[in-house]
Chains A and B, each alone.
Chain A
Amino acid sequence: MTIEFTRRVEVTLWLNGRDLTTVVSPRTTLLDWLREDIGLTGAKKGCNEGACGTCTVLVDGRRMNGCLTLVVQCEGRSVTTVEGLAGADGALHPVQRAFAEFDAFQCGYCTPGQLLSAVACIAEGHAADDASVREWMSGNICRCSAYPQITAAVLAAAREEPGR
């Protein structure tokens, strides 16, 4: 069986609950596509090399760096960004409410990535205590250093909505 290589690839995926078909150049990262093609700028381009976590999104419920994921690798998958966290009626996700309540940010640049990472951290069952949150949230850097507040918010949201 020969394999056919192409320079334009059609990709069908779910984005924040809506199905969508797009045609991309293979090199297009999920992050660039979200920000430049779709106009969802919640995921931020901090380092563009997987070091900072500001581009964290959920792919099939698992957190991943948008800058290290190609759109062509998302065929048939479900992608959730910060724009898809709140309910259809605009009600904030429990993790978003906890971040607001605990003041878990200063400048807010890292917050979309922190939120998605926190949602996954709780669902994975890794928000048991201070140490596990700090370990399993270490892929999201906060240069304002709001880590104590972020840790408290994740633990509070986990108590409200325990993981598996």
Chain B
Amino acid sequence: MRDFAYARAGTAESAVGTLADPGTSVIAGGTELLNWFRLGIAAADRVVDIGGLDELRGIASDGDGLRIGALATLNEIGEHPLVTQGAGALASACLQAASAQIRNRATIGGNVLQRTRCPYFRAEEPLPWPCHKRDPGSGCASLAGRHERQAIFGWTQDCVAVQPSDPAVALAMLDAQAEVLGPAGPRTIPMREFHLTQREAAEAGQPMRETRLEPGELITGYRLPASAGGQAYVKVRERASYEYAIVSAAAAVRLDALLPGAVLPGAPGAGRIAAARVALGSVAQRPWRLDAAEAELPGTPLTREALTPVIERAMAGAAPLPQNEFKVTMARNAAVRALLTAGGAS
């Protein structure tokens, strides 16, 4: 790791002030940044430490919703009663991420800024193969090589990587807003629009861009609206713990309480959906909300048979790569399972 100059910020505003210099990086937990430095994914001449800023801490009620400070750790969020009660999908996503010791350091501010786990990207420099993210315009070794874990939506010939964050999927599903502070002052970014697919970035004329966060901006916290009903986060992975998702799904379901059977979870003909939200993870370079399904789900019985075709229609635009067609089926099933669990039917 190349050495750097270090300072502790006294306020969020003063930290942002140092970011006008593009050679300055922010460190909070550091679980991702230090590995970027080691691999040569990022280099900084100066690192400003925001870890001591109490103004960025805390998890509290905010009207009907919640406010979570950017420095809240994944373990703090995952076990906080306000989050487990009001945003269960987020709590579950946090506790299914990484390991217990990493979750004690990793913050929710940094988590959504983690970069892809693509092994062609996460190699030590000098890279022996092309990678558009490491050497813009060089091409994508994964597209020509192994890509079974890569995107089924929004990829381009330049890059087929996915965003691996679990909490980001729950935040997008919950319609959370990121609060950011920049040189021009504070603003908010809806989490469902925070990340960009490769295609969205290319169409915007900024093919290297991965988020809507501007250079020099700092995430200071998140606002979550009032509880969206029963929630679930389903993570499908190659081992039961401490592994990134192959696919994941976050869902929130409100059942129509007026219909008979709604209070008998799992019973034949049980409840119909009044409103639902669902997002997929690790299928694109952004959490993938299934808007078409959300529009169609009200009135749908909470059964696997009824939900599956709705999700299939909403995923009709999937464009799997030669090696990852299985992810379309796996993501569909994860979405159905998340909806069933959120609705109390499994």
B9-44 at interface with A (beta carbon < 8 Å): 9-11, 14-15, 17-18, 27, 29-31, 34-35, 37-38
CB atoms of A69 and B30 under 8 A apart: yes
Instruction: Contact check, A3 vs B9: say whether CB atoms are below 8 A apart.
Output: yes
Which one of B80-88, B97-105, B126-134 is at the A interface?
B97-105
Q: Inter-chain contact count A-B, CB under 8 Å?
A: 108
**Contacts A1-B11, A62-B104 given: A50-B35 contact, CB under 8 Å?**
yes
Residues of A contacting B102 in the complex (Cβ-Cβ under 8 angstroms): 50, 65, 68, 139
Inter-chain CA distance A3–B19, complex, in Å, is: 11
Instruction: Check A49 against B38 for contact (C-beta < 8 Å).
Output: yes
A138 touches B30 (CB 8 A): no
Whether B14 lies near A3 (C-beta < 8 A) is yes
Point out the residue from B34, B46, B51, B101 that lies within 8 Å of A64, measured CB to CB. Answer: B101
Q: Which of A4-12, A80-88, A89-97 contacts B (4 or more CB under 8 A)?
A: A4-12
Contacts of B31 in A (CB 8 A): 50, 65, 68
| Contact A5/B241 with A69-B30, A69-B105 known, Cβ cut-off 8 Å | no
Chain A nearest CB, measured from B244 CB (Å): 11
Most buried by A among B2, B29, B101: B101
Contacts of A139 in B (CB 8 A): 98-102, 242
Tell me, rounded to whole Å, the shortest Cβ–Cβ distance linking A32 to chain B. 9
**Contact, CB under 8 Å: A138 / B7:** no
Cβ-neighbour of A26 out of B6, B9, B10, B241 (below 8 A): B6
The verdict on B47 contacting chain A, using a C-beta distance below 8 Å, is yes
Query: Do the beta carbons of A3 and B105 come within 8 Å of each other?
Result: no
Is the beta-carbon distance between B241 and A121 smaller than 8 angstroms?
no
Cβ of B3 within 8 Å of any chain A Cβ, yes or no, is yes
Q: Decide: B99 and A49 in contact? CB cutoff 8 A.
A: no
Asked if B340 is at the interface of the complex by the 8 Å CB criterion, the answer is no
CB neighbours of B9 from chain A (8 A): 3
Report the separation of the CA atoms of residues A24 and B49 in the bound assembly, to the nearest whole angstrom. 15
The residues in A between 58 and 83 inclusive whose CB is less than 8 angstroms from any CB of B are 62-65, 67-70, 72-73, 75
Q: Which residues of A contact B101 (CB under 8 A)?
A: 53, 56, 63-65, 117, 120, 139
A47 to B184, CA, bound (A): 41
Quote the shortest CB–CB distance from A119 to chain B (angstroms): 12
Total interface residues on B, CB under 8 Å, equals 38
In angstroms, how far is the closest chain B Cβ from the Cβ of A109? 17
Nearest CB in chain A: distance from B311 CB, A: 28
User: With A1-B11, A49-B38 known to touch, is A72 a contact of B105 (CB < 8 Å)?
Assistant: no
Could you tell me the distance in whole angstroms from the C-beta of B118 to the nearest C-beta in chain A? Answer: 15
In contact, B241 and A63 (Cβ under 8 angstroms): no
B5 within 8 A of A: yes
B105 contacts A134, CB within 8 Å?
no
Are A70 and B30 in contact, CB atoms less than 8 angstroms apart?
Answer: yes
Instruction: Indicate if the CB atoms of A4 and B7 lie closer than 8 Å.
Output: yes
Does A145 sit at the interface, judged by CB under 8 A?
no
The reply to whether the CB of A25 lies closer than 8 angstroms to some CB of chain B is: yes
Q: Which residues of B contact A1 (CB under 8 A)?
A: 10-11, 14
Cβ B105 vs Cβ A138 within 8 A = no
Query: A134 contacts which chain B residues (CB < 8 A)?
Result: 240-241
Q: Shortest Cβ distance from B8 into chain A, in angstroms?
A: 8
Is A136 interfacial (CB-CB < 8 Å)?
Answer: yes
Does B4 make an interface contact (CB < 8 A)? yes
With a CB–CB cut-off of 8 A, which chain B residues contact A64? 101, 104-105
Q: Is B316 an interface residue (CB 8 A)?
A: no
Which single residue of chain A is at the shortest CB-CB distance from B79? Answer: A124
The 3 closest A-B pairs by CB, nearest first: A139-B99, A26-B6, A5-B5
Inter-chain pairs besides A26-B47, A65-B101, A136-B100, 10 sampled, C-beta below 8 Å = A5-B6, A5-B48, A26-B5, A48-B38, A50-B99, A62-B104, A65-B102, A68-B35, A72-B6, A139-B101
